[in-house]
Amino acid sequence: MKERTIVVVGAGPAGLMAAISASQNNNNNRVIVLEKNSEAGKKLLLTGGGRCNVTNNCNVDQLIKNTVTNGKFLFSCFNIFNNDDLMKFFENYGLKLKIEEGGKVFPTSDKARDVLYILLETLESNGVKIWYDSEVEKININENGISEITLRNKNIIKADSVIIATGGMSYPKTGSTGDGYRIVKELGHAVVDIKPGLVPIEIKEGWIKSLMGISLESTNIVCNVKDIEKPNKKPKTIKWTGPLIFTHYGISGPAVLNISSYLNKHINNSIIDIIIDIVPNVSEQELENILVSKEFEKNETIFKTLSKILPKNLVTALLDVLELNKDKKLSDISKEESNKIITNLKTLKLTPKDLRSISEAIITSGGISTKEIDPKTMASKLVEGLYFAGEIIDVDAITGGYNLQIAFTTGYVAGLNA
The footprint of ligand FAD on residues 345-374 (CB under 6 A) is: 362-363
189-228: contacts with ligand FAD (CB under 6 A) = none
Among 15, 107, 254, 415, binds ligand FAD (CB under 6 A): 15
Q: How far is the CB of 56 from ligand FAD (least distance, A)?
A: 8
- The least distance separating ligand FAD from the CB of residue 417, rounded to whole angstroms, comes to 17
417, 377 contact by CB (below 8 A) = yes
Stretch binding ligand FAD (CB under 6 A), from 74-82, 204-212, 246-254, 403-411: 403-411
Q: Establish if 394 lies at the interface with ligand FAD (CB under 6 A).
A: no
**Closer CB to ligand FAD, residue 316 or residue 409?**
409
10 lines the binding site for ligand FAD (CB under 6 A) = yes
The answer to whether residue 171 forms part of the interface with ligand FAD (CB under 6 A) is yes
Nearer to ligand FAD, 165 or 263 (CB): 165
52-81 residues near ligand FAD, rule: CB under 6 A:
52-53
Q: Is position 83 an interface residue for ligand FAD (rule: CB under 6 A)? A: no
Binding of ligand FAD by 179 (CB under 6 A): yes
Which residues within the stretch 311-340 sit at the binding site for ligand FAD (CB under 6 A)?
A: none
Least CB distance to ligand FAD at residue 134 (A): 6
Which residue, 100 or 327, has its beta carbon nearer to ligand FAD? 100
φ and ψ at 67, to 5 degrees?
A: -90, 115
User: Which residue in the set 19, 21, 42, 338 belongs to the binding site for ligand FAD (CB under 6 A)?
Assistant: 42
Considering only 114, 135, 227, 354, the residue that binds ligand FAD (CB under 6 A) is 135
Residues that bind ligand FAD (CB under 6 A): 9-15, 34-37, 42-44, 46-48, 52-53, 135-136, 165-167, 170-171, 175-176, 179, 362-363, 390-391, 401-404, 407
